[in-house]
Structure 1
Amino acid sequence: MKKILLLTLGLVLSSSLYAKVKVYPLQSPVLEEKFQTIIVNRALEKLGYEVEPIQEVAYEVAFQTIGQNAKSKDVYFMADNWDPTQVNMYNSAGGDKKLYRKGVYVPNCAVGYLVDKETADKYNIKYISDLKDPKLAKLFDIDGDGKADLTGASPGWEVVEQINHHIKAYGLKNTIDHKQGEYSAMIANTIARYKSGKPILYWSWTPYWVSGKLVPGKDVVWLQVPFSDNKSGKDTKLANGANFGFEIQTQRIVANKSVEKNYPDIAKLFSIMKLNPNDLSAQSTLLSKGENKDKDINRHVDMWLKANKALFNSWVNEAKKLQ
């Protein structure tokens, strides 16, 4: 009887301890990242933690906030650290000294430049460097200055520097303009332009809902680069010989450093969670069909949890061993 009472008391105290911990999920305004973030939230709740509402902030703000709370008793995390693209943001926020990052949440994410397939096939455009030809570049001119208008990244994203670096490295400064702005708005305009039958040139990534609207190989094609010229100095050529100019990306969970010592169960959870990129692509397709409200995304998460119950429970059960 005494053992049962002690065990019960221990569970109550344990639950009380977790309830006092504040868990702050941070997420960029990129809508697709909410799905991944909510899945992490659900796992944390299964461990007994109360999770605060998701705070949407710029990537840089998320990194700085997490780093500034390196010694906090609360938990701050972001489920979508694009590695290696965001290496500078990671290091600027304190790197491994202030941040906890183990494991890979989403592997094999592609990044690169795309054009509509019709124009690419008609003019034999295969490389971004083909647009050094002013006649080819003019095909993608929107504002009338004779240069190709590349739908690029949002200001503040680290990839902005890499895109600008490519434009210089491949001799495209006189023929390509890197258009920056709020990405979701720009890509919506790009899709509208495609639907009107006009050529398009844009930067994007997978998994992302755009690939459900502009299907690679059917509607659009990836452009290669003539040689590797990455700011990191790393070779971007793939095993099959293709070279899209960017390293293959992974999405990783980043948290404040104190999580590793204070909450080994959370640290373990963050290190072992892994999603299939195909699942993200499927969810992105649902977003592209108008299922993009919070209630829709939570329903998508419910569907995913039902289909992947054993996998999800294995993460939670493994983490619980450290409580």
Structure 2
Amino acid sequence: MARSKFLLGVGTALTAIALSAAPAWAQSLPGEGTTVSMAQPTWDTEWFQAQIYKKAMEALGYEVEGPIALDNPPFYQAVAQGDVDFWASGWFPLHNTYLDEMEGKASAVGYVARGGALQGYLIDKKTAEEHDIRYLEDFQNPEVAELFDSNGDGKADLVACPPGWGCELTITHQMEAYELGDTVNAIQAAYAASMADAISRYEQGQPIFFYTWTPNWTVGMLKPGEDVVWLEVKEPSLPEEQADMEDQTAVSGVTGCASDPCQMGWPANDIRVVANNEFLEENPAARTLFEEMSIPLEDIFAQNAQMYEGADRPEDLERQAEEWIAANQETFDGWIEAAMAAAE
């Protein structure tokens, strides 16, 4: 689907008509009488997907509670215990260690987005070119680090991940592995607020240094190759439990990277549903739905940009999900039909 098509939307009235139409699969619903508990992450760049998955479950007749916002550790604990049934925000291989600890109580199912979830470090293009900064290891140089110092302590200020996010563990490891503890200050405050400060500095012509992932509104506001560039690492280094993925950190076709493939230091991730195993066994329609569903990354980028511009209230998210479904009604109905067939 073209980005412009989604951005234009279809209007509230058309959405209501499309969603109220009763296709053939609506005659008997496998989820009727079943209440489902759904979670979503505390970072808002995946709340759009959560709303689409919620509406798909409701189309199957399920009553959906939530989604409740959780950080990674409490979600994986809750889904293993059956306190939460699923979310559509598992990042793999980043979340492999969480899933491994579930001892067969939860599984990754289907692909919200396959292989397109990138992670890494970026700096503004102007500073990169003026000072020939290409690698994360360049920040070992105090003179380079001082360029990105916004509070006068001599260290580069890196917008990093709050405690409890999967990326926090990797960033902490890499700061030590690349000997950056004396030259880089990894900011672990609320990510959106920290990025807003970074964008403000960028707009004032100041250097910026940040971690991000895709899909995310940051790469819509600060376009790789135009406004910012990806930093490479000379040698990959991941935490011990992820070390077997170091050979997967060179990613081809990355816009805004000096090399192709780009040695990003992070493996590309798949975004997947994670669900309680008992729930999946008892609800074959839900399992099949999760296996069938996927959402184009460009549509997620477009919605994230709308959120950044202020359309981020719960009613905005619900409307955006309804508009996306109406604009992709045939695809949506196909998911429901496949799920219905699995329940027969």
TM-score, normalization: structure 1? 0.90
Q: 1:176 aligns with which of 184, 206, 224?
A: 184
The structure having more radius of gyration, on CA atoms, is: 1
The corresponding residue for 2:15 is: none
Separation in 1, partners of 2:148, 2:203 = 15
Offset of residue 158 of structure 1: 2.0
Separation in 2, partners of 1:248, 1:218 = 22
Gaps of 5+ in 1: 1-10
The corresponding residue for 1:33 is: 46
Provide the secondary structure at the position in 1 that maps to 2:120. strand
Separation in 2, partners of 1:151, 1:18 = 43
Gaps of 5+ in 2: 1-25, 253-259
Separation in 2, partners of 1:61, 1:203 = 23
The corresponding residue for 2:134 is: 126
Per-residue CA deviations over 1:155-211 (Å, capped at 9, x if unaligned) read 111211211221222222221121111111111111112122211101001111111
Offset of residue 315 of structure 1: 1.0
For 2:61, give the aligned amino acid. Answer: G
Separation in 1, partners of 2:179, 2:250 = 20
* Structure 1 moving runs of 4+ over 6 Å: none
Q: RMSD across aligned C-alpha pairs, in angstroms?
A: 1.8
Count of residue pairs brought into register by the alignment: 305
Separation in 1, partners of 2:134, 2:289 = 42
The corresponding residue for 2:341 is: 321
The corresponding residue for 1:7 is: none
Separation in 1, partners of 2:38, 2:202 = 36
Per-residue CA deviations over 1:243-277 (Å, capped at 9, x if unaligned) read 11100011110111112321111111112211111
Provide the secondary structure at the position in 2 that maps to 1:199. coil
The corresponding residue for 1:256 is: 276
Contact 1:27 1:59 in 2 (8 A): no
Q: 1:88 aligns with which of 74, 93, 97?
A: 97
The corresponding residue for 1:50 is: 63
Provide the secondary structure at the position in 2 that maps to 1:172. coil
Offset of residue 88 of structure 1: 2.0
Provide the secondary structure at the position in 2 that maps to 1:113. strand
TM-score, normalization: structure 2? 0.84
Provide the secondary structure at the position in 2 that maps to 1:26. strand
Contact 1:100 1:259 in 2 (8 A): no
Separation in 1, partners of 2:320, 2:263 = 34
Is the counterpart of residue 208 in structure 1 residue 208 in structure 2? no
Offset of residue 305 of structure 1: 1.0
Provide the secondary structure at the position in 1 that maps to 2:31. helix
Separation in 1, partners of 2:97, 2:227 = 34
Separation in 1, partners of 2:194, 2:217 = 14
The corresponding residue for 2:80 is: 67
